[in-house]
Structure 1
Amino acid sequence: MDTMQQHLSPDAADTHAPWWFSLLGRLLEPWLRLKRDPAEPAALLKPDVPVCYVIERHGLSDALILERACREAGLPSPLAPIRGLPLRQRRAMFALSRRDGWLLGRTRKRNPREALRQLMRALEAQSGRDVQLVPVAIYVGRAPNRQSGWFSVLFSENWVVVGRFRRLLALLLNGRDTVVHFSPPVSLRQVLDEAGGERPERLVRKVSRVLRAHFRRIRAAVIGPDLSHRRTVVDSVLNAEPVRAAIAATAAKERISYARAWRRAQDFALEIAADYSHPVVRSASFLLSWFWNKLYDGIAMHHLDSLRAIAPGHEVVYVPCHRSHADYLLLSYQLYQSGIVVPHIAAGVNLNLPVIGPILRRGGAFFLRRSFKGNALYSVVFNEYLAQLVARGVPLEYFIEGGRSRTGRLLAPRGGMLAMTVRAFLRTPRRPVVFQPVYVGYEKLMEGKSYIGELSGQPKEKESLLGLLRGLRTLLRQRYGRVTINFGEPVFLTPLLDAAAPEWRQAGEDIDARQGWFPGVIDALAARIQVNVNRAADVNPINLLALVLLSTPKHAIAEADLLAQLELSKALLEELPYSDRVTITPASPAEIVAYGERMGWIRRVAHPLGDVLVTEGDQAVLLSYFRNNVLHLFATAAWVAACFLNNRRMARASVQRLGRLVYPFLQAELFLPWDEDGFVARIQATLDFFAQRGLLESSGEGRVYQRGPGQGDAAYQLRTIARSLLQAFERYYIAIAALVKNGPRTLSAAELENVCTLTAQRLGMLHELAAPEFFDKSLFRGFIQKLRERRVIWPDADGKLDFAPELAAVAQEARVILTRELRHSILKITPGAEAAPAEPPAAAQGGA
């Protein structure tokens, strides 16, 4: 370390600290534990160039912390003078402001211009010299741990400049959780060279402003924006011109006084607004640390560095997939533990329960009603509140699926919150907006059994405090494996707007000016987010077990076959990567099987000819959830394998042609990332992979592919892969068969949806399909909508669906994938127009 110090600056080790400074440093040392960010800041600096450090606030404790951090990192000491330059300044550091007072922390600006002026004059006098200006942000008590005391939360780092006594208490209570953030250095020589003859005094002021803005950005990224009291935010909302206009309109429409309408708007704002509290957030982190350790075996997080790089200076909107009530707690907890500010979270008003609601509100939750219809004033107040948050740079989090997925698939996005966020940005584009997709993967769900009930037609249980307390007792008796949080590729709003509407900057608040392109931007943004969530999937042992076991006829498989199929699945993911952000379990196939047994997902049945692994009953239904989490990763392989279910030989051109035909529907259902040409290229790569593995043989210079005999291992492995996606193809055939059987201009879209749901439910009973999602109405609704978008079907003047005769030919293509027996069974049980009821029974109305 000393060698590095001398390498960076020959005079680094020559410090001139007074005896009392060294004594205080030794006294304070047991109370301090420093976390450097980055861990090796020496890599940021240029060797042999003098360093001058800039800290945000002057204080003895900050100087002690900076000196120790530099010493431990092998950096030049801030206490040593900058040798070789004619400077009166005795230390290689200065501060932008000073603390005054022992209790209240009154602050007056300490003008840094004198120190900067000296440095610039010295560099002007010696043209060959340079100085690296290194901003260093110091935060005491930022990252709590389980051993920290409850009292220490009151003295955590925030935006308030405290006095020396409070700072001393903060050091004693929270000093072991101190973060020292080193920013990349600024070359003063480069600043002077780029100044272009600018007056030195003006240049000094400019550098000072840039440094202050930099420290504000870093503090906002680490601690959170400087939020006023909740009532101040509410007052800003109520004083905004759109809200005042809406209040006046409500008063006129309902013939009530303006004061009464204003009070109603105030009630709405108070119902919505968060009441963010740093001490509550820190306190919650203690409770959650204990809670997660009781529930989970660990929480893994990947690709956080990309978020760290973009967060400063951006309005960050987190858009996770929604699998469980634990999603937002886990994400906020992990962000806080990683030194990133906790976002404000949009929560359904159903969670605003007694006791729980106020805690969530102080943790950053703001509440919204399920529907804004019929309440124009509420809608305007909510839009304005969101706009205030965006304008203030408050990070946000919301779920664009609109609710938790009961099937494990991503749900079709709802664009309401996205539209409000984009409108807020267009109104005041102060800082660029970036949407951060987040994938959350589980190995067991708290809500698993309730999801089965809801998909089978049982009503959703209403949230209540009593129900929560009862549920906690049950939760704490079980273990839920590991959780993984993966950050997907961010979606930047400005480039998307530039591509869709280059004139967007001129639109401003003119709604009419953006009517043509705004809805398309929201749809494109929502689709991009969902695609990027899926491109950050985590493949855990339970996902792989579910994928294989649920593709067997009786959810049972010989151990040797299971191990071989697991190895094939991992090889497929590794050799044909879906995305560079997908993470895959490092466990071997044998370890995966053993883990599944420990978690209780599968059961071993001993047999003299070899053990059999099975999953039964509700466990099999629950496993379908975890299969669906990663089904998109195997979509291309499942399609290629499905082409060889009923065909021993197929031409490559036929596989690709049919792939183009089915891909738009798979893409819409699974949020796949390719266009049609990209999917065809993926098909070719998969054919090559299967050929290399011996599952297929190619002939005719790769124009024709052939599988082995049906009783062989290769054919068995292909069947297992194909069956993972077979139910999707069956649903598509049910919809097309219902249209063809009933004839054109007979069924409306709603009637077709009901017919499909009934047929799927009946088929599931006859063929023992243990997956309530098979007759999920939302999946049929999405398929029918895609048929309309592709102009395969269209409504007539009476709202009935019409189609061209070619649709029957499309139905005939199903023989490639589906067996004759299954096709005949679907045609037999699909009701005609005279037999189709208006609504399926409750048990058939599974869905999200």
Structure 2
Amino acid sequence: MTSSGLSSLEHPRAHRPPLWARLLSALQKPWLKLRIEQPEADGGFDPSRPWCYVLEREGTSYQLILDRACRESGLPGPFEPQPALERTRSTLYVSRRRSMPFVRRDRAVADTAELDTLVLRAAADPDFDCQLVPVSIFVGRAPDRSTGWFRVLFSEHWAVTGWFHRLLALLLNGRNTWVRFARPVSVRELLDDGTVPAKATRKLARVLRMHFRRVRTAMIGPDLSHRRMLIDTVLASPAVRDAIVAQAARDNTSIEAAQKQARKFAREIAADYSHPFVRSLSFILNRFWNRTYDGVRMHHLDTVKQAAHGASVIYVPCHRSHIDYLILSYLLYHNGLVPPHIAAGVNLNLPVIGGILRRGGAFFLRRSFKGNALYPAVFAEYVDTLYANGTAIEYFIEGGRSRTGRLLAPKAGMLAMTVKSFLRTPQQPAVFLPVYIGYEKLMEGNSYLGELAGQAKRKESIGGLLRSWRVLRNKYGQAAVSFGEPIELRAHMDAHAPQWQAERLSPRAEWLNPAVDSLATRIQTEVNRTAEVNAVNLIALSILAAPKHALGESDLLAQIRLYQTLFTRVPYSSRVRVCQDSAEDIVAHGEKLGWLVRTSHPLGDVLSAQGDQGILLSYFRNNVLHLAVCAGWIGCCLLNNREMSRASVARAGRIVYPFLKAELFLPWSADEFAQELERTIDVLIAEGTLDAREDDRIVRRPGGGTLGQYQLRLLGHTLLQTIERYYICAAVLARSGSGTLTAGELENVCHLTAQRLSLLQELSGPEFFDKALFRGFIQQLRALGVVTTNEQSRLVFGEQLTDALEDARLILSREIRHGILKLTPEAREAAASED
């Protein structure tokens, strides 16, 4: 795993290592396998000038590993003499190992004597310079199938170890050794900026120590203190001390009693991260993925590696399954990055299970912070401590797992805490990494189905966990993890709240909540921009738009190919990945996973999603529905219109786009959406799904009975239910009258209307009557000023709403519009009787 960098400059290896080194290297060779990483492109290393490798710690084994890495990379070796430096070897150390008197324990002692010699030499000779190449070595960092349990004890960690421990580490874990070369550091540059030699030495030593600490943190995690010491740090903070005093005053109890309660909260919250445990868990998960999944695909890992150095990384994935945090932590660890500390609901803090999760990095939070001012103070300080330590953190801003496959409206509590931590210590940079996680089948599918049908969510318990083991006997296809564009918090704050630096410590800054809300929306938008379209997504998009969820085989194949073409030729973003398997292979895969049932027929086989499979498939359609918005809108426009001008399609699209954008976290402005519509129309015309006339200004449905007309109808039905839901809300509001309903009453009436309509028309997908989606639409109406609230909290509107209803005539059939209008008064009466 060698990248172009330092090794791009060839260097003849004229000097052989000493005999003892060659002998030890030969003994070491069978036990050693290296993963070598170097700077991208030109590393800036010039072997014709004086140079020296810098290692973090002293040790013969490190020199031998470095020599092997240099030979494999075509670099000069560490045993080469440096006459220009008056050195017999080309290696120096930032710290050396020293044993404490009368105590059998090793410790690292800083050693700047050799650095001081180089700095003084450069100060005396203006033409002298030396290139210092930092090299980080980690033995036993990456597990593989041959790794045994005993090897965990000798994996890489922060403690300074002796020669015997390092020997066992090499014997047990040497085949999983990482070597990272960094860009050279120039001694001359430190002196040229006017720094005196003594300060230059200290600065150089500090720079090297910080570099090695950052790399070690990125590889194995921060050097966390014992959990008890971390809790003591949290409780000793001024914010928590003040909260303890305030709590004692409110409860009329002693300070000691409030301190005891605060410590109880901290113990409930805090993780107990263990490197050996994480390595042990990686062995179990390795077998789990191989047994349960057909593979796990990962995209844009380079994004994570670039962001992980020198910044506090906050992973913000979408939340679709309990597998999310396992799969993300496993992939990060297996690829040389530290697993994050994960914010988990306190409902998972079960006996035994809670301890396991804590050792894997989980820290627990309550669903609500109301009712006790001390708990949020302790929790916020704990998060602040993790952030200040540079610990990678992971949390789900949706608040819970999505039951419909859509991204949920974000809850900004954890985001606000993280932003406040940054405001307290802005010198510690923060980077948010959105993560898309996709599956072809969900372990929780049946439980989601029950919850969507109205059953109460089952409370987590040990018994429920034991009963769930039977799901592991099934196969769940492939999974995918894709990392989105990093969001640098400082740049985001500069863009959305330019005054933040001057007012960062203000407790009631008016710009804070809007900045956090915009950050939450941006994260969700970036998650969607890095989606992977798998085989099941393509099947769900195609077959759920058909009557009875059934298509002839040839029609299904053609629709899958059309979606592949659209997503490839009109890419949603450069990070989206689209399954490129043949349509035949995709259908076969769907049958293998049980999503499709084939019915043989003399005129051609029919493939269908039967029973509950249609509802479950809607989950996977919703994962990627945002990618099909443009094609879906064009199809909707031509469902009930023989032809339309491009300008009319775009004009109507601009009206509905703000609601689509808010619901599906779309990335475009209204003008950009219109441009996307134009590009999509061009592809549909090229594919025969649309006809055009009058120099392409007018688009029309293909002739009746053609494949193109049928495909266009399927495209339209993919988005039709969303548009119908918008019409239900606008129609209920208009027929009720301005100033009649509150937002809550409108939401309830809309829910009942949609629920009734779905029963009458067999509409698929429980999200059609999801109250949360109606709530979001109402909020968007208020945000756009279409409706306002009077003194009685009732919704007031004007002509803009009635104009929107008139525009709906272009899209919705008379039958659907009349059916909605007929149900509206009945739903109002039912909602009133429930109240």
Question: Same fold by TM-score, threshold 0.5 exceeded?
Answer: yes
CA distance in 2, matches of 1:839, 1:753: 15
**Are the equivalent residues in 2 in contact too, given 1:33–1:175 (CA < 8 A)?**
yes
Q: Aligned partner of 2:556: which letter?
A: L
| 1:33 matched residue in structure 2 | 33
Match of 1:506 among 499, 502, 505: 502
Query: Quick one: structure 1 residues 379 and 22, their matched pair in 2 at CA, closer, same or farther if it must change by over 3 Å?
Result: same
| 2:522 matched residue in structure 1 | 528
Match of 1:768 among 756, 762, 767: 762
| 1:151 matched residue in structure 2 | 150
**Are the equivalent residues in 2 in contact too, given 1:638–1:725 (CA < 8 A)?**
yes
2:63 is the counterpart of 1:73: no
Q: Aligned partner of 1:310: which letter?
A: A
Match of 1:670 among 655, 664, 689: 664
Match of 1:434 among 431, 455, 471: 431
Give secondary structure in 1 for the equivalent of 2:518: helix
Give the Å deviation of 1:170: 1.7
**Are the equivalent residues in 2 in contact too, given 1:452–1:772 (CA < 8 A)?**
no
**Are the equivalent residues in 2 in contact too, given 1:94–1:112 (CA < 8 A)?**
no
User: Could you list the per-position Cα deviations for residues 796-840 of structure 1 after superposition, in whole angstroms to 9, with x for gaps in the alignment?
Assistant: 211221111342231121121111111111111123586142487
CA distance in 2, matches of 1:40, 1:787: 49
How do 1:5-16 residues align onto structure 2 when only pairs under 5 Å count?
8=9, 12-15=13-16
2:58 is the counterpart of 1:58: yes
| 1:82 matched residue in structure 2 | 82
Give the Å deviation of 1:375: 0.9
Q: Aligned partner of 2:13: which letter?
A: A
2:466 is the counterpart of 1:469: yes
Query: Quick one: structure 1 residues 544 and 509, their matched pair in 2 at CA, closer, same or farther if it must change by over 3 Å?
Result: same
| 1:645 matched residue in structure 2 | 639
| 2:267 matched residue in structure 1 | 270
CA distance in 2, matches of 1:9, 1:640: 58
CA distance in 2, matches of 1:266, 1:333: 31
CA distance in 1, matches of 2:205, 2:26: 33
Give the Å deviation of 1:29: 1.6
Match of 1:599 among 587, 590, 593: 593
How do 1:242-641 residues align onto structure 2 when only pairs under 5 Å count?
242-472=239-469, 474-512=470-508, 514=509, 516-641=510-635
Q: Aligned partner of 1:21: which letter?
A: A
Query: Quick one: structure 1 residues 708 and 508, their matched pair in 2 at CA, closer, same or farther if it must change by over 3 Å?
Result: closer
**Are the equivalent residues in 1 in contact too, given 2:11–2:47 (CA < 8 A)?**
no
User: Could you list the per-position Cα deviations for residues 645-697 of structure 1 after superposition, in whole angstroms to 9, with x for gaps in the alignment?
Assistant: 11111112211111110000000110000011111111111122222223223
| 1:171 matched residue in structure 2 | 170
CA distance in 2, matches of 1:442, 1:581: 17
**Are the equivalent residues in 1 in contact too, given 2:115–2:205 (CA < 8 A)?**
no
CA distance in 2, matches of 1:655, 1:835: 37
Give the Å deviation of 1:119: 7.3
CA distance in 1, matches of 2:801, 2:704: 32
Which deviates the most, 616-625 or 44-53? 44-53
Which deviates the most, 145-154 or 437-446? 145-154
2:21 is the counterpart of 1:21: yes
CA RMSD of aligned residues (A): 2.2
Give secondary structure in 2 for the equivalent of 1:504: coil
**Are the equivalent residues in 2 in contact too, given 1:6–1:12 (CA < 8 A)?**
no
Q: Aligned partner of 1:389: which letter?
A: L
Match of 2:741 among 739, 742, 747: 747
After TM superposition, the score normalised by the length of structure 1 is 0.95
Give secondary structure in 2 for the equivalent of 1:831: helix
Query: Quick one: structure 1 residues 169 and 840, their matched pair in 2 at CA, closer, same or farther if it must change by over 3 Å?
Result: farther
**Are the equivalent residues in 2 in contact too, given 1:400–1:417 (CA < 8 A)?**
yes
Query: Quick one: structure 1 residues 5 and 497, their matched pair in 2 at CA, closer, same or farther if it must change by over 3 Å?
Result: closer
User: Could you list the per-position Cα deviations for residues 549-586 of structure 1 after superposition, in whole angstroms to 9, with x for gaps in the alignment?
Assistant: 00101111111111111111001011111011111112
Q: Aligned partner of 1:280: which letter?
A: F
Give secondary structure in 2 for the equivalent of 1:787: helix
2:733 is the counterpart of 1:736: no
CA distance in 2, matches of 1:413, 1:630: 18
Give secondary structure in 1 for the equivalent of 2:831: coil
CA distance in 1, matches of 2:833, 2:789: 20
Which deviates the most, 31-40 or 428-437? 31-40
Give the Å deviation of 1:232: 0.8
Q: Aligned partner of 1:80: which letter?
A: E
**How many pairs were matched up?**
830
User: Could you list the per-position Cα deviations for residues 381-437 of structure 1 after superposition, in whole angstroms to 9, with x for gaps in the alignment?
Assistant: 111111111111111000000000000000000000000111111112231111100
Give secondary structure in 1 for the equivalent of 2:615: helix
| 2:218 matched residue in structure 1 | 221
CA distance in 1, matches of 2:199, 2:8: 34
User: 5+ unaligned residues in a row in structure 2: which ranges?
Assistant: none
Query: Quick one: structure 1 residues 5 and 311, their matched pair in 2 at CA, closer, same or farther if it must change by over 3 Å?
Result: closer
Give the Å deviation of 1:791: 1.3
Q: Aligned partner of 2:464: which letter?
A: G
CA distance in 1, matches of 2:550, 2:801: 38
CA distance in 2, matches of 1:125, 1:10: 26
| 2:812 matched residue in structure 1 | 818
| 1:99 matched residue in structure 2 | 97
CA distance in 1, matches of 2:443, 2:542: 23
Query: Quick one: structure 1 residues 211 and 836, their matched pair in 2 at CA, closer, same or farther if it must change by over 3 Å?
Result: same
User: Could you list the per-position Cα deviations for residues 202-245 of structure 1 after superposition, in whole angstroms to 9, with x for gaps in the alignment?
Assistant: 32332221111111111111111110011111111111111111
**Are the equivalent residues in 1 in contact too, given 2:139–2:176 (CA < 8 A)?**
yes
CA distance in 1, matches of 2:11, 2:532: 49
Give secondary structure in 1 for the equivalent of 2:405: coil
User: Could you list the per-position Cα deviations for residues 173-205 of structure 1 after superposition, in whole angstroms to 9, with x for gaps in the alignment?
Assistant: 22221111111223445555xx24543343233
**Are the equivalent residues in 2 in contact too, given 1:754–1:839 (CA < 8 A)?**
no
Which deviates the most, 42-51 or 577-586? 42-51
Q: Aligned partner of 1:78: which letter?
A: P
CA distance in 2, matches of 1:524, 1:232: 36
User: Could you list the per-position Cα deviations for residues 280-322 of structure 1 after superposition, in whole angstroms to 9, with x for gaps in the alignment?
Assistant: 1111111111112111011111001011012111010000000
CA distance in 1, matches of 2:429, 2:126: 40
2:695 is the counterpart of 1:695: no
CA distance in 2, matches of 1:388, 1:245: 17
**Are the equivalent residues in 1 in contact too, given 2:43–2:183 (CA < 8 A)?**
no
Which deviates the most, 110-119 or 408-417? 110-119
| 1:846 matched residue in structure 2 | none
Q: Aligned partner of 1:436: which letter?
A: L
After TM superposition, the score normalised by the length of structure 2 is 0.96
CA distance in 1, matches of 2:9, 2:511: 55
Give secondary structure in 2 for the equivalent of 1:725: helix
CA distance in 1, matches of 2:589, 2:39: 35
CA distance in 1, matches of 2:522, 2:329: 23
CA distance in 2, matches of 1:787, 1:92: 69
Query: Quick one: structure 1 residues 421 and 684, their matched pair in 2 at CA, closer, same or farther if it must change by over 3 Å?
Result: same
CA distance in 1, matches of 2:560, 2:329: 34
Give the Å deviation of 1:510: 2.3
Query: Quick one: structure 1 residues 6 and 169, their matched pair in 2 at CA, closer, same or farther if it must change by over 3 Å?
Result: closer
Query: Quick one: structure 1 residues 105 and 584, their matched pair in 2 at CA, closer, same or farther if it must change by over 3 Å?
Result: farther
Which deviates the most, 45-54 or 150-159? 45-54
**Are the equivalent residues in 1 in contact too, given 2:131–2:186 (CA < 8 A)?**
yes
Give secondary structure in 1 for the equivalent of 2:806: helix
**Are the equivalent residues in 1 in contact too, given 2:39–2:182 (CA < 8 A)?**
no
CA distance in 1, matches of 2:8, 2:306: 28
CA distance in 2, matches of 1:241, 1:419: 20
CA distance in 2, matches of 1:767, 1:508: 54
